[in-house]
């Protein structure tokens, strides 16, 4: 399989789903609550339907794991992950920081990923061995070396509290230069492009992390979960960005143990 061609196909799919999403942005719509109490809208459903249909039509032997419609043939060697709107709460409130995410896994490891910010008009992508890009611009993580003067993005304080990582949250706020809440894939993308040094995310799922992992690695960065494992994307938390700062955040977690 030519992964660059597959990336181009995925970009064309996400362009169509983004257009559907933007039809609903800043409009009145019904908001439902899922079993985990997270919100979902008609835009989430319609965007995932578009992406699933396109993938199924063009890659019928591939599996799919999507946030809204679950798993289909997920034991296949090739599996796509879909998060039609990452940051649905931002989307509902009319904030432009939500993303549309898609990745392709080969034997459980992401080899292609896309983070698209429909309301901001930015799409980043990476293919294994080919680098990370936004348009034609090559993306690189920051080169900052010290936690003391670093610029750190985090998920919401509520997520750290729910997952019992308040020690990490408080230590980052005490020791880092600047800590700001840039949630969801937006924060990861800011770490990928070096706008912030690292993103610390205490609560998400495989469809959130798979595209982030491949893109940050191709941007010269590191991706790890809170236990230090660099390979897993289904453990519910992640640190991504500048390798030195990823290690610094891991060190805080190890001290707690």
The CATH number of the domain where 106 resides is what?
A: 3.30.540.10
Q: Is residue 107 part of a domain?
A: yes
What pLDDT score does 229 carry? Answer: 65
What pLDDT score does 36 carry? Answer: 79
- How distant is the alpha carbon of residue 83 from its chain centre? 9
Q: Is residue 161 part of a domain?
A: yes
pTM reported for the whole predicted model: 0.95
What pLDDT score does 255 carry? Answer: 83
Q: Is residue 138 part of a domain?
A: no
CA dist 130 and 213 (Å) reads 14
Tokens 């492009």: give the residue.
Answer: 193
166 and 51 assigned to the same domain: no
Other CB atoms closer than 10 Å to residue 34's CB: what's the count?
12
Q: Is residue 38 classed exposed, middle or buried when 0-12, 13-18 and 19+ CB atoms within 10 A define those classes?
A: exposed
Structure token digits, residue 255: 């001290």
What pLDDT score does 230 carry? Answer: 60
Question: Strand 151-154 and strand 178-181: pairing?
Answer: parallel
CA dist 112 and 4 (Å) reads 9
Going across the sheet that includes 238-241, the strands are: 178-181, 151-154, 198-201, 238-241, 222-224
CA dist 227 and 40 (Å) reads 30
77 and 13 assigned to the same domain: yes
93 and 165 assigned to the same domain: no
Q: How many residues does the chain have?
A: 257
Sign of the alpha-carbon dihedral angle for 180, 184, 186, 187: positive
Domains in the chain, number: 2
119 and 199 assigned to the same domain: no
Low-confidence ranges of the chain (pLDDT < 50): none
Tokens 């990336």: give the residue.
Answer: 7
Q: Is residue 202 part of a domain?
A: yes
57 and 26 assigned to the same domain: yes
Domain around 185: 151-256
Sign of the alpha-carbon dihedral angle for 128, 221, 216, 210: positive
Q: Is residue 52 part of a domain?
A: yes
Q: Is residue 200 part of a domain?
A: yes
């Amino acid at each position: 399989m030519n992964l660059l061609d597959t990336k181009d196909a995925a970009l064309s799919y996400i362009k169509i789903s983004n257009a559907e999403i933007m039809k609903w942005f800043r409009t009145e719509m019904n908001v439902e609550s899922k079993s985990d109490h997270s919100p979902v809208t008609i835009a989430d459903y319609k965007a995932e339907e578009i992406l699933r249909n396109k993938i199924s039509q063009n890659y019928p032997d591939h599996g799919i794991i999507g946030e809204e419609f679950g798993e289909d043939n997920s034991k296949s060697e090739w599996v796509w992950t879909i998060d039609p709107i990452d940051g649905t709460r931002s989307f509902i409130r009319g904030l432009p920081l939500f993303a549309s995410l898609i990745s392709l896994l080969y034997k459980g490891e992401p080899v292609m990923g896309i983070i698209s910010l429909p309301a901001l008009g930015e799409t980043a992508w990476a293919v294994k061995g080919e680098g990370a890009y936004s348009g034609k611009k090559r993306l690189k993580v920051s080169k900052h070396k010290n936690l003391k003067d670093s610029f750190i993005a985090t998920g919401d304080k509520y997520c750290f509290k729910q997952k019992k990582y308040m020690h990490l949250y408080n230590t980052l706020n005490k020791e880092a230069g600047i800590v700001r809440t840039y949630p969801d894939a937006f924060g990861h993308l800011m770490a990928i492009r070096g706008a912030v040094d690292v993103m610390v995310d205490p609560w998400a799922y495989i469809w959130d992390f798979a595209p982030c992992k491949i893109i940050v690695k191709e941007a010269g960065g590191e991706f790890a979960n809170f236990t230090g494992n660099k390979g897993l994307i289904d453990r519910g938390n992640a640190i991504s960005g500048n390798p030195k700062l990823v290690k610094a955040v891991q060190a805080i977690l190890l001290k707690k143990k």
